[in-house]
A and B are shown apart, each in its own frame.
Chain A
Amino acid sequence: MNEKYLYSLIAVIALFLVAYAGVEAAGLQWLFGIIIPYLAIITFIVGFVVRVKDWACSPVPFAIPTTCGQQESLPWIKPSKIDNPFSTGGVIIRMALEILLFRSLFRNTTCKINEGPRISYVWEKWLWLFSLAFHYSFLVVVVRHLRFFLEHVPVCFQILDKIDGFLQIGLPGVMLSGVVLLAAAIFLLLRRILISQVRYFSLAADFFPLFLIIGIAVSGIMMRYFTKVDIVGVKELTMGIVTFRPHIPDGIGAIFYVHVFFVSVLLAYFPFSKLMHLGGVFLSPTRNLRCNTRAHRHINPWNPKVKVHTYAEYEDDFREKMIGAGLPVEKEL
């Protein structure tokens, strides 16, 4: 079992060494600072679009939403408009809650031994809480990084920065999102390693992105708080990338290239991995369809022709017996 996270950990350490040695020893700044990021971004965009297009183009033969609440039926019975959405509006809210608040995960229960001889099912919130913390802090971190790619930082980003750094601890001020991201990623990792059930079905592909993201967070935090990377130089490099005039300024430490390399690997890995749940969650037919299948016909684009046993054939098989039992028939004997 250990091999799964060991492989992933080794892979991430190897990536670190490649980038570190590549920059420190071989002086390949242009490779890790320009070429690989470009390739990674292209892979990410092309890969993501291809994957989502592939899903979106594949047919949905049947409307099979999971109904998680009371159906729309008799006028005096209150339907559950979100968990069993009859209308498109309901589906939109259902999807929004699913995507923005992880509603299904919020339902999570776990079996627990309570007093007395019986199992009970207890609301299990940790997975939901840390997943939410993980994804939102990730989002904030990504948005915060946009300042490196924009000439002028929009006001809303500045406000976000203020909120993110409201604790005002230390100098430079601690950004909450980075810390939360690291903590949540470590929680998710420990959960996979320590809970035997979860470890049982976890794959190397589950550990690898976690180690990678932890690596990204750690290298980022290192740069910001400890090695104090040359921000001006970094911005010069990143602006060079987005304006397609790439060049490598002097004086940026190796740790920055490690950080960029990790991010590049994550981006390139993204479309080929389970991380595509980012796109897939929008397309899941058990969630994004209206639960009105008795009121509106869903069309199957490949509805097959099938061989059937008709009433006429049935009557031929049983005519005598049917007449004997007094059943009406189409053709008399």
Chain B
Amino acid sequence: MADLKPEELIARTDFTPPRTGWMDTPTVIREGMFCYAAKPKSVATLGLPYPREWNPLDDDWKLPENWKEIIIEGMKDRLERFRTFKIFMDICVRCGACADKCHFFIGTGDPKNMPVVRAELLRSVYRNEFTKAGKILGKIAGARELTLDVLKEWWYYFFQCSECRRCSVFCPYGIDTAEITMMGRELLNLLGLNIDWIATPVANCYMTGNHMGIQPQAFVDMLDFFADEIEDTTGVRVHPTYNKKGADILFTTPSGDVFGDPGTYTAMGYMILFHYLKVKYGLDVTWSTFNSEGGNFGLFTSNEVMKRLNIKMYAEAKRLGVKWILGGECGHMWRAITQYMDTMNGPADFLEEPVNPITGTKFENAKSTKMVHIVEFTADLIKHNKLELDPSRNDNLKVTFHDSCNPARGMGMLDEPRYVIKKVCKHFYEMPRNCIREQTFCCGSGSGLNASEDMELRLSGGLPRANAVKYVQEKHGVNMLACICAIDRAVLPPLMGYWVPEVDVTGIHELVTNALIIPGEKEKTVNLRGEDILNKDEVGPEEYYTRPDFSGR
């Protein structure tokens, strides 16, 4: 064994941090853990600085000569504009309560993914430039100079944070790593150092109204195509309206659901629900091609870019003259709506305070933004018995619910989705308490990290979530993971595919409309996915789940 030292080989593999201090441990940018650099065209479309071809793996990032000055100036500017930034730089006592709360730390084992260290990456430079102790004592006071390596380290680790805010729940001072990451990313954007998975959707959204860059006619084509599919499975033809002036409500949802499975079934769910409400109660809901994106990747770029994208929601609502806006199931979209939209682009005094015309419920909690979450809306409808439901149509499913980070920790929408699920499904099981509600684990792909090239990061970061799903899968036979986020619907299927292949992913409104009895529907034998609906008279659930043709396999 003398010639081969496995001890050395497998050193630095666990949670036990390296022997060298973090400042002295150089960061190696590894394939699978980062997303590709922003394409110059996307950066230029937005008029953001320094669009250029560059590669994170190259030594030369083609930075402007005065890059250091730009960053320091940028920090100074943000310290003056954000109390959060200033306070979070100053008051951390490094108690470590956050350290093992980060899914990326738990999953990757990289100690620089501990939230406290992620913040220290920035704080060390802050101390060096802006505090007396740091200037005098240097490294002893935890200060270090901003070098190219430091900048690269920032880039690597601020794009390994999904801004999920789980650490912030446990911090005795409420220090929010998401806020620190957002500041870090704003600074990096000053040098054109965005990732393409964020920059291109942002540019698309800016120009075409949605992240995917779907042009208006293609958007209509997609929804028409969904209408065909709905007709095939339900026998009912739905007629969505687009850009309709004078409609009651403007509906906006992430374009991801219009484009990728299984989110498409959720999109069909919305269409069926609106059809139902139109036929039964005469409610007129319209979609917009200009505002065909609920999500806002600007949130992952800078507050200004977020504002530039978000402004379309109110602008379109005003142009169409609707009463209020209904928002679909999405995670970060609801962080932006709840905590930024009204401040940035309000007051929306041209809209009415939202009232559900069918039930008469006033949405008091949304009286200023004038924007209601569709799960709140549906919960209200169900509570007032306005939807005719047959939950047994979801009997083939044993469902658990993944709280998406942003609705949980940036909004607090915890019980509404559970209420809806329990009303439309008979089999619902919670994951362990420390993995749900405000302590929910991230999917591992939030904040614009849902590219393909960083799959290792996503799969390892999603491990704590998958772990909890596996627990309910083994204990209760759960085969469906419900969520209220379009990114979740895009990224949880591969995550489940790797760790818990028996479990599929759905949005809540797919479950709702599977159970919904639509006027004029044919006898349903399949659900929206074309899967046979369990005929409970013929086979018991246990037998059903173990059938070889069961879609969850």
* Chain A partners chain B: yes
- With A104-B169, A322-B217, A328-B244 in contact, is A201–B99 under 8 Å at CB? yes
User: What's the least CB distance linking B34 to chain A, in Å?
Assistant: 23
Interface CB pairs A-B, < 8 A, 8: A69-B414, A74-B383, A121-B432, A197-B100, A283-B87, A291-B412, A318-B215, A318-B216
- With A59-B82, A73-B416, A121-B432 in contact, is A67–B438 under 8 Å at CB? yes
The distance in angstroms between the C-alpha atoms of A314 and B288, with both chains bound, is: 12
> In the complex, which residues of chain B have a beta carbon less than 8 angstroms from the beta carbon of A302?
81
> Which of A68, A105, A121, A201 is B116 in contact with, Cβ under 8 Å?
A201
- Segment at the B interface, from A13-21, A137-145, A219-227, A304-312: A304-312
The distance in angstroms between the C-alpha atoms of A188 and B496, with both chains bound, is: 40
Contact B304 A306 (CB under 8 A): yes
- With A67-B412, A287-B174, A327-B216 in contact, is A77–B419 under 8 Å at CB? yes
The distance in angstroms between the C-alpha atoms of A186 and B498, with both chains bound, is: 45
> Which of B84, B137, B243, B307 is A306 in contact with, Cβ under 8 Å?
B307
Contact B90 A280 (CB under 8 A): yes
Give the B interface residue count (CB, 8 A). Answer: 117
Interface of chain B: mostly helix, strand, loop or mixed:
helix
User: What's the least CB distance linking B365 to chain A, in Å?
Assistant: 5
> In the complex, which residues of chain B have a beta carbon less than 8 angstroms from the beta carbon of A104?
97, 169-172, 174
Q: 1/0 per residue B152-189: CB within 8 Å of A?
A: 00000000000001001111111110010000000000
Contact A286 B438 (CB under 8 A): no
Q: 1/0 per residue A89-109: CB within 8 Å of B?
A: 000000000100010110111
> In the complex, which residues of chain B have a beta carbon less than 8 angstroms from the beta carbon of A273?
133
Q: Which of A7, A109, A303, A311 has the most CB of B within 10 A?
A: A311
User: What's the least CB distance linking A33 to chain B, in Å?
Assistant: 27
- With A67-B409, A297-B342, A322-B289 in contact, is A200–B215 under 8 Å at CB? no
* A43 at the B interface (CB under 8 A): no
- With A121-B432, A286-B176, A298-B343 in contact, is A71–B81 under 8 Å at CB? no
Q: 1/0 per residue B376-398: CB within 8 Å of A?
A: 10011001000000000000000
Q: 1/0 per residue B12-24: CB within 8 Å of A?
A: 0001110111100
> In the complex, which residues of chain B have a beta carbon less than 8 angstroms from the beta carbon of A309?
206-207, 308
* A272 at the B interface (CB under 8 A): yes
In the complex, chain A residues 52-79 whose Cβ is within 8 Å of any chain B Cβ: 54-55, 58-79
User: What's the least CB distance linking B408 to chain A, in Å?
Assistant: 7
* B371 at the A interface (CB under 8 A): yes
> In the complex, which residues of chain B have a beta carbon less than 8 angstroms from the beta carbon of A303?
343-344
Contact B117 A196 (CB under 8 A): no
* B140 at the A interface (CB under 8 A): yes
- Segment at the A interface, from B3-11, B333-341, B519-527: B333-341
Q: 1/0 per residue A275-312: CB within 8 Å of B?
A: 01100110111110001111111111011101111110
For the complex of A and B, 7 pairs with smallest distance between CB atoms: A71-B412, A280-B91, A67-B412, A286-B174, A325-B217, A203-B142, A121-B434
User: What's the least CB distance linking B291 to chain A, in Å?
Assistant: 9
Give the A interface residue count (CB, 8 A). Answer: 100
- With A104-B170, A195-B96 in contact, is A200–B17 under 8 Å at CB? yes
- With A77-B419, A311-B319, A318-B216 in contact, is A64–B114 under 8 Å at CB? no
* B331 at the A interface (CB under 8 A): no
> Which of A107, A205, A284, A327 is B173 in contact with, Cβ under 8 Å?
A284
The distance in angstroms between the C-alpha atoms of A300 and B339, with both chains bound, is: 12
B contact set with A: CB distance below 8 Å: 15-17, 19-22, 47, 79-84, 86-87, 90-97, 99-101, 106, 111, 114, 116-117, 120, 131-133, 137, 140-142, 165, 168-176, 179, 206-209, 215-217, 220-221, 242-245, 289-290, 303-304, 307-308, 311-312, 315-316, 319, 337-340, 342-344, 346-347, 361, 363-369, 371, 376, 379-380, 383, 408-416, 419, 432, 434-435, 437-439, 464, 467, 470-471
Contact A63 B216 (CB under 8 A): no
> In the complex, which residues of chain B have a beta carbon less than 8 angstroms from the beta carbon of A68?
169, 409, 412, 438
User: What's the least CB distance linking B321 to chain A, in Å?
Assistant: 13
Contact B412 A277 (CB under 8 A): no
* A110 at the B interface (CB under 8 A): yes
Contact B95 A105 (CB under 8 A): yes
The distance in angstroms between the C-alpha atoms of A317 and B289, with both chains bound, is: 13
User: What's the least CB distance linking B165 to chain A, in Å?
Assistant: 6
* A25 at the B interface (CB under 8 A): no
- Closest B residue to A56 by beta carbon equals B83
> Which of B168, B290, B380, B471 is A311 in contact with, Cβ under 8 Å?
B290
The distance in angstroms between the C-alpha atoms of A202 and B132, with both chains bound, is: 19
> In the complex, which residues of chain A have a beta carbon less than 8 angstroms from the beta carbon of B315?
308, 310-311
> In the complex, which residues of chain A have a beta carbon less than 8 angstroms from the beta carbon of B20?
1
* A321 at the B interface (CB under 8 A): yes
> In the complex, which residues of chain B have a beta carbon less than 8 angstroms from the beta carbon of A51?
90
- Closest A residue to B92 by beta carbon equals A274
Contact B100 A111 (CB under 8 A): yes
- Closest A residue to B114 by beta carbon equals A201
> In the complex, which residues of chain B have a beta carbon less than 8 angstroms from the beta carbon of A272?
131-133
* A245 at the B interface (CB under 8 A): no
- Closest A residue to B305 by beta carbon equals A306
In the complex, chain A residues 110-162 whose Cβ is within 8 Å of any chain B Cβ: 110-111, 118-121, 127, 131
Q: Which of A197, A286, A295 has the most CB of B within 10 A?
A: A286
Contact B21 A328 (CB under 8 A): no
Contact B80 A66 (CB under 8 A): no
- With A55-B87, A59-B83 in contact, is A121–B435 under 8 Å at CB? yes
User: What's the least CB distance linking B177 to chain A, in Å?
Assistant: 11
> Which of B142, B208, B216 is A325 in contact with, Cβ under 8 Å?
B216
> Which of B83, B95, B419 is A58 in contact with, Cβ under 8 Å?
B83
> In the complex, which residues of chain A have a beta carbon less than 8 angstroms from the beta carbon of B338?
293-294
> In the complex, which residues of chain A have a beta carbon less than 8 angstroms from the beta carbon of B17?
196-197, 200
The distance in angstroms between the C-alpha atoms of A298 and B343, with both chains bound, is: 5
Contact A327 B432 (CB under 8 A): no
User: What's the least CB distance linking B372 to chain A, in Å?
Assistant: 9
- Give 15 new A-B contacts, CB below 8 A, not counting A276-B90, A277-B92, A311-B312: A60-B83, A70-B413, A73-B413, A74-B379, A78-B415, A105-B97, A197-B114, A201-B99, A272-B133, A281-B172, A284-B175, A296-B368, A314-B209, A322-B216, A322-B289
The distance in angstroms between the C-alpha atoms of A75 and B364, with both chains bound, is: 9
> In the complex, which residues of chain A have a beta carbon less than 8 angstroms from the beta carbon of B172?
98, 102, 104-105, 131, 281
User: What's the least CB distance linking A201 to chain B, in Å?
Assistant: 5
- Closest B residue to A121 by beta carbon equals B434
- Closest A residue to B224 by beta carbon equals A325
